[in-house]
Chain A
């Protein structure tokens, strides 16, 4: 079974500082990876996805992620965060039969 591990449960960061959220996956087959964001009192919104091709994936709101097959990682980055980036972030891998396996989540708190 495919799974993901998010290495940081909480990431506090100051406004305009860079942030990196770490995600490692385990898979022996083709990998399809996603990052979702969940703002307070909302559902999950897709930030970006990796299906194939370029290992650097650009998403919405200035986020990007790099797929690293040798390190089985898919870390999410943003060079300069805003207060509005305060949210829960989930890394996920497509399993099979329509199943998404989610990581435990990383809470990002942006402070002024």
Chain B
């Protein structure tokens, strides 16, 4: 069982829809991440939140909008997506203290498989 919970597991949406992906962890971690993973490829980092503040945005298109309402929750709001955005979206968390976090592993959820029609 994973300690990072993502909902929904599957999502099919049209290009004009607005939807949100949700991620929750209760390990007391203060860093949370969104990754995009295409089939047979490694995960690609999209966003990093540290202590509920956005610290890294890997030049992700504005149709993806992250939100961190509190230390346990991470959302990814989706709007006007393109077919090439179809992928597995993974959430992860880690302890989050930069001074000691080097080497602390990231814990991943099982992902949301997103299909854009």
* A interface residues (Cβ-Cβ under 8 A, vs B): 30, 32, 34, 36, 41-46, 49, 51, 88, 90, 94, 96-100, 102-105, 107
Interface contact B103-A32, CB-CB below 8 Å: yes
Q: Which residues of B contact A (CB under 8 A)?
A: 2, 4, 6, 31, 33, 40-43, 45, 48, 50, 55-56, 90, 92, 94, 98, 101-103, 105-111, 113
Assembly CA distance A30 to B6 (angstroms)? 33
Cβ distance B56 to chain A, nearest Cβ, rounded Å: 6
A30-B102, A98-B101 are contacts. A45–B55 as well, Cβ < 8 Å? no
B102 CB contact (under 8 Å) in A34, A42, A90, A94: A94
Asked if A44 meets B90 with Cβ closer than 8 Å, knowing A98-B48, A100-B106, the reply is yes
Given contacts A34-B105, A99-B48, 6 further A-B contacts (CB under 8 A): A32-B102, A51-B103, A96-B102, A98-B56, A100-B45, A102-B43
9 contacts across the A-B interface (CB closer than 8 A): A36-B108, A42-B110, A43-B90, A94-B103, A97-B55, A97-B56, A98-B98, A100-B45, A105-B41
The 6 A-B residue pairs whose C-beta atoms are closest, nearest first, are A102-B42, A32-B103, A43-B108, A44-B108, A51-B103, A43-B110
B43 CB contacts on chain A under 8 angstroms: 44, 102
- Known contacts A44-B43, A104-B42, A105-B41: does B33 contact A98 (CB below 8 Å)? yes
Residues of B within 8 A of A46 (CB): 105, 107
Q: How far is the CB of B95 from chain A (nearest CB, A)?
A: 10
Contact A49 B105 (CB under 8 A): yes
Q: Flag if B50 contacts A98 (CB, 8 Å).
A: yes
Contact indicator A90/B105 (Cβ below 8 Å): no
**Neighbour of B45 across the interface among A43, A44, A96, A99, CB < 8 A:** A99
Give A100 to B110 CA distance when docked, in angstroms: 18
Residue in B98, B101, B103 whose CB lies within 8 Å of A49: B103
Question: Taking the nearest CB of chain A, how far is it from the CB of B21, in angstroms?
Answer: 13
Q: Given that A43-B111, A90-B42 are known contacts, is A99 also in contact with B105, CB under 8 Å in the complex? A: no
CA distance A44 to B106 in the complex (A): 9
